[in-house]
Amino acid sequence: MLFRSDYMSEHSYHHKNLKNTLIQEGIHYINEYGEQNLSMRKLASLCNVSHTALYKHFRSKEDFMYAISDYIETLFTEALVNARNRADGDVDEAIIQIGIGYVAFMIEHPDFMKYHINTMKSKMYEFPTMEDASTSSFEVFRSTAIAFLQKHGYKQEEYYNEILFMWSIVMGLSNMFAYEIIDARGDGLKKVEAIIRREIQLHSRNTI
């Protein structure tokens, strides 16, 4: 597999975007060969930069892995907030837009979805609690979902299963697009919207 860095000279990386470039190349490599096969030396080689330039941004591989997670999480949270804002305060529409926004983000960035799945394989993953979401992106979803469930008369003890169900729908659809089980071209996103709207309607205790 050829990486984008194979086509770029070393001097092209000496700018303020070097850190993001290193992160993006690292994500590509991990998805292809696995986290265990990535070293800082290999990362520097992929991007045609010196070890000195690399260590100006990342002190260790662990530091680099945290940076990848932070990079993805920041972009993802921003996308979900923007999606929620499109609803103009309508709770039902907000949870629908967040679902669409989730899948649209992963269609635009399939490597992020693959990275998430690949790195989860080697780690214990615990679904965030309803009281204390572990990531800012999940908190955007969780708080909106709870507002939706409250509006439609769900009991607090039902929140966990209902939120898990809604989250699994968009995560499952995102996986199918990331691994090209569903074609993202054409009207793919319109089909996603139709599925999400249908499921939210089924879960509402009132007519949307």
Q: How far is the C-alpha of 99 from the C-alpha of 148, rounded, in Å? A: 13
Could you report the per-residue pLDDT of 161-182, keeping only the tens digit for each?
999 899 899 989 988 888 888 8
In one letter, which amino acid is 16? K
| Domain annotation covers residue 208 | no
Q: How far is the C-alpha of 156 from the C-alpha of 56, rounded, in Å? A: 48
Q: What is the mean pLDDT of residues 115-119?
A: 74
4 or 48, which is more confident?
48
pTM for this one?
0.79
| Domain annotation covers residue 137 | yes
| Domain annotation covers residue 126 | yes
Q: Are 84 and 94 in contact (CB under 8 A)?
A: yes
pLDDT for 144 equals 95
Does residue 157 surpass a pLDDT of 60? yes
Q: How far is the C-alpha of 154 from the C-alpha of 58, rounded, in Å? A: 46
Task: State how many domains the chain has.
Answer: 2
Could you report the per-residue pLDDT of 67-93, keeping only the tens digit for each?
998 899 899 999 999 999 999 999 999
| Domain annotation covers residue 1 | no
Does residue 121 surpass a pLDDT of 70? no
pLDDT for 150 equals 94
Q: Tokens in use for 79?
A: 């996308």
Q: Tokens in use for 169?
A: 């729908």
Q: How far is the C-alpha of 109 from the C-alpha of 73, rounded, in Å? A: 12
| Domain ranges, residue 149 | 63-203
pLDDT for 117 equals 72
Segment among 33-37, 126-130, 146-150, 161-165 with least mean pLDDT: 126-130
Q: Are 146 and 131 found together in one domain? A: yes
Does residue 197 surpass a pLDDT of 90? yes
Q: Are 198 and 108 found together in one domain? A: yes
pLDDT for 120 equals 60
pLDDT for 141 equals 93
Q: Are 143 and 165 found together in one domain? A: yes
The secondary structure of residue 108, as a DSSP letter, is: H
Task: Match 């303020």 to its residue by tokens.
Answer: 16
Mean pLDDT for the chain? 83
Q: What is the 3-state secondary structure (H, E, C) of 16-55?
A: CCHHHHHHHHHHHHHHHHCHHHCCHHHHHHHCCCCHHHHH
- Domain at 80, CATH number: 1.10.357.10
- Domain at 29, CATH number: 1.10.10
Q: How far is the C-alpha of 81 from the C-alpha of 150, rounded, in Å? A: 20
